Amino acid sequence: MIDCDMKRVIFATSNEGKMKEIRLLLADLDVEVLSLKEAGISVSIVEDGETFEENALIKVRTVGMEKEAQGAVILADDSGLEVDYLNKAPGVYSARYMGEDTSYTIKNQAIIEQLSKAVGEERSARFVCVIAALLPDGRTLTTRATIEGQIGYREEGSNGFGYDPILYLPEYHTTTAGLSMEEKNRISHRGKALRQMKERLIDGGVI
């Protein structure tokens, strides 16, 4: 049952991996953090923006039109992998790269194979995350953060999802999938962008 006195944050995703990260980062706030499914929202979101910012804003505005979202702070992220050797592809098309139903094991292996002749800094890549917020008064906010690394030569680690097993972090001698959840939230693109947004919402008295 929803506590009407508790502020609600609806994160525009049904991805349980993302929700675990988000709940951990917002655990110290007196807010109810809900996924779309938990909020009772089923909506089709057409992500046709050309930038991470545009897509994140499309998500929060689409969800914000639903009656179940009234009075809540709507958050969404748009994130992706930029590989410099591939002219920053897959970028905003990361989730749809090679088809949405294609497994990430196949996607990851395809990227590794495309970099078969790349060495050292030629393998530079990063995760980018933009968090968008739609406030109850209709205002929107965005924050952006990245985590820099290199494309590994093989998948490594089991703590992440998506492209996590192939972004190698030289400083940590592992991929983002090899980090603990606490480490990942501290240094990841999504963790940094969400903390920036959290600070802006707190400073603005929104939550």
Catalytically active residues are 78
SS3 string, the chain, reads CCCCCCEEEEECCCCHHHHHHHHHHCCCCCEEEEECCCCCCCCCCCCCCCCHHHHHHHHHHHHHCCHHHCCCEEEEEEEEEEEHHHCCEEHHHCCCCCCCCCCHHHHHHHHHHHCCCCCHHHHEEEEEEEEEEECCCCCEEEEEEEEEEEECCCCCCCCCCCCHHHEEECCCCEEHHHCCHHHHHHHCHHHHHHHHHHHHHHHCCCC
